[in-house]
Amino acid sequence: MKNERIKVKCVGMDEEGKGIVKINGREIHVPYLIEGETAIVEVFKKRKFTNAKVIRIVEKSKKRVMPECQYYNKCGGCQLQHMSYQGQLEFKQDVIEKLMIHYRSVNKILGMKDPYFYRNKIHSTLSYDKKGMVISGIYEGNTHKVTPIEQCIIQDRRADEIIASIRKIMKTYKMKPYNEDTGEGFLRHILVKTGFVSNEIMVVLVVSSKIFIGKKNFIKILLKKHPEIKTIVMNVNNRKTSAVLGNREMVLYGKGYIEDTLCGCVFQISPKSFYQINPIQTEVLYNKAIDMAKLNKNEVVLDAYCGIGTISLIVSSKVKNVVGVELNKDAVKDAINNAKRNNIRNTYFYNDDAGDFMISLAKEKKEIDTVFMDPPRSGSDEKFLSSIIKLAPKKLIYISCNPVTQERDLRYLTKHGYIVKEIQPVDMFPQTYHVETIVGLRRKDTL
């Protein structure tokens, strides 16, 4: 079956947007193939895995379109550009329904009016091309080979222009991109964060050494070209690691953070702050989550995994008190500063493991009416979920960017006294297979 070309029919799609075909009784998942299509695919074996790639589409789906991006087949950052936007929404709706329809019916997904140029956080990696020219872009799928990108159609246009300027300055100063194999070179990554409402821009230069030769001139040239930049931060990462940011930071220009407004609250965004990458859809997401919670002025709310306090501060005007808990101490510091910045006095932030914190609240017999939880992609562990059961809030609002782990966690929660009341998908990440889902739950004995 190695390197064989076969005509196949796509019988379905997986959660990552790959088409499912069956060859010799084996199910193979093929990128860029849409359910219902017939295609010629090349099948090849790599170690223990059998993969396939599309050679030619024989019968096209009505959902197939020409991708807008010239890097689409190399980049790996997007997975669904070969589908119309309506087709993408239908695919994501179907993914959520297949996973969660046994709990209750799923609301229609909330999509974007303009599903392009929405990302406010841009990460670019530096390398050399075959001619020895400095390039910037992202890693090609499943490799550490940098695909050079001049313009990305899902990220802020201004970031692409700033990154292009930095490459030119690098050439002028003979500044070398970092080589992760040899450990040589200086500039590893460029991180650009943009404020959607404020229009403020932060540039983070991730470098391999704290010794920055020509630093003052570098900054002067960059600011002259891009006066819209409000702050520049140097982050030192001299470890052999796939992590982008290191532990040491130095502010080279400005305050070291930018501000942006979300749902009426102003937030300080630092290099390491977690802040949703699609500001338009974040407002849609949070407003729907708050509406689902049906809050009142007498409630005490717990915001687990509170980050820099976005949900905590946005709901604070609707309830008596908000308690936020977060393991990342830098994020907690940002949350406290954000509360002060917005003159909000009924929020309390704690640096602790969310599960341990809830167990301690339960032991103290503290009453929490509603818990908002927005865990990492891996979902919540059983320790965290069991702590929710011990705390026993009346309402749970579970926000997740991974419906598979979310559904796994819902199984636990519904076996331990909660019932799903509403499921709402939101398209936070157009052109990719990722989807955000809000699930509202209620403790059975309070119905």
User: Which residue has better confidence, 130 or 199?
Assistant: 199
Q: Tell me the percentage of the chain whose pLDDT exceeds 90.
A: 78
At what angle are helices 85-100 and 403-415 packed, to 10 degrees?
30
Q: What are the tens digits of pLDDT across the range 275-318?
A: 899 999 999 999 999 999 999 999 999 999 999 999 999 999 99
Instruction: Please indicate, yes or no, whether residues 149 and 53 belong to a single structural domain of this protein.
Output: no
User: Which residue has better confidence, 26 or 231?
Assistant: 231
Q: Are 439 and 104 in contact (CB under 8 A)?
A: no
User: Could you tell me which of 76, 2, 103 has the C-alpha nearest to residue 431?
Assistant: 76
Of how many residues is the chain composed?
A: 447
Residue 297: predicted pLDDT = 96
Residue 359: predicted pLDDT = 92
Instruction: Please indicate, yes or no, whether residues 140 and 213 belong to a single structural domain of this protein.
Output: yes
Q: What is the mean pLDDT of residues 35-40?
A: 96
Domain boundary residue among 262, 288, 303?
262
Q: What are the tens digits of pLDDT across the range 149-198?
A: 989 999 999 999 999 999 999 988 888 998 887 888 899 999 999 999 99
The whole-model pTM stands at 0.92
Instruction: Please indicate, yes or no, whether residues 310 and 437 belong to a single structural domain of this protein.
Output: yes
Instruction: Give Cα 108 distance to the centre of its chain.
Output: 21
CA angle 69, 169, 125 (to 5 degrees): 45
Instruction: Please indicate, yes or no, whether residues 157 and 195 belong to a single structural domain of this protein.
Output: yes
Q: What is the mean pLDDT of residues 373-382?
A: 86
Q: Does the pLDDT at position 142 exceed 80? A: no
Q: How confident is the model at residue 263 (pLDDT cuts 50, 70, 90)?
A: very high
Instruction: Please indicate, yes or no, whether residues 237 and 131 belong to a single structural domain of this protein.
Output: yes
Q: Does the pLDDT at position 388 exceed 60? A: yes
Q: What are the tens digits of pLDDT across the range 44-70?
A: 877 777 888 999 999 999 999 999 999
Q: How confident is the model at residue 403 (pLDDT cuts 50, 70, 90)?
A: very high
Residue recorded with tokens 């194999």? 181
**Residue span of the structural domain in which 58 resides:** 4-64
* CATH code of the domain in which 380 resides: 3.40.50.150
Q: What are the tens digits of pLDDT across the range 198-242?
A: 999 999 999 999 999 889 999 999 999 999 999 999 999 988 777
Residue recorded with tokens 């630092």? 270
Q: How far apart are CA 224 and CA 421, in angstroms?
A: 54
How is residue 184 written in tokens?
Answer: 């040589």
Give counts: helices (H), strands (E), the chain: 10, 22
* CATH code of the domain in which 244 resides: 2.40.50.1070
Q: 322: part of which helix (H) or strand (E)? A: strand 321-326
Q: Are 360 and 390 in contact (CB under 8 A)?
A: no
Instruction: Please indicate, yes or no, whether residues 283 and 396 belong to a single structural domain of this protein.
Output: yes
| Catalytic-residue membership of 306 | no
Q: What is the mean pLDDT of residues 396-417?
A: 96
Instruction: Please indicate, yes or no, whether residues 156 and 108 belong to a single structural domain of this protein.
Output: no
Instruction: Please indicate, yes or no, whether residues 236 and 340 belong to a single structural domain of this protein.
Output: no
Domain boundary residue among 262, 292, 325?
262
Q: What is the mean pLDDT of residues 370-388?
A: 90
User: Could you tell me which of 110, 101, 95, 108 has the C-alpha nearest to residue 404?
Assistant: 95
CA angle 6, 9, 11 (to 5 degrees): 135
Instruction: Please indicate, yes or no, whether residues 282 and 411 belong to a single structural domain of this protein.
Output: yes
Residue 4: predicted pLDDT = 85
Q: Does the pLDDT at position 407 exceed 80? A: yes
Q: Does the pLDDT at position 2 exceed 60? A: no
Residue 132: predicted pLDDT = 86
Q: How confident is the model at residue 141 (pLDDT cuts 50, 70, 90)?
A: low
Domain boundary residue among 204, 228, 262?
262
Lowest mean pLDDT among 228-232, 269-273, 413-417: 269-273
Q: How far apart are CA 324 and CA 305, in angstroms?
A: 8
Q: How far apart are CA 88 and CA 80, in angstroms?
A: 7
Average pLDDT of the residues of the chain = 93
b/e burial code for range 271-305 (CB count within 10 A of at least 16 → b): bbbbbbbbbebbbbbbebbbebbebeeebbbbbbb
Q: How far apart are CA 335 and CA 342, in angstroms?
A: 11
Of 10, 265, 306, 401, the active-site residue reads: 401
Residue 248: predicted pLDDT = 92
Instruction: Please indicate, yes or no, whether residues 203 and 145 belong to a single structural domain of this protein.
Output: yes
Residue 360 has φ and ψ, to the nearest 5°, of -65, -35
Q: According to DSSP H, which parts of 78-199 are helical?
A: 85-100, 157-172
* CATH code of the domain in which 28 resides: 2.40.50.140
Residue 228: predicted pLDDT = 95
Instruction: Please indicate, yes or no, whether residues 308 and 435 belong to a single structural domain of this protein.
Output: yes
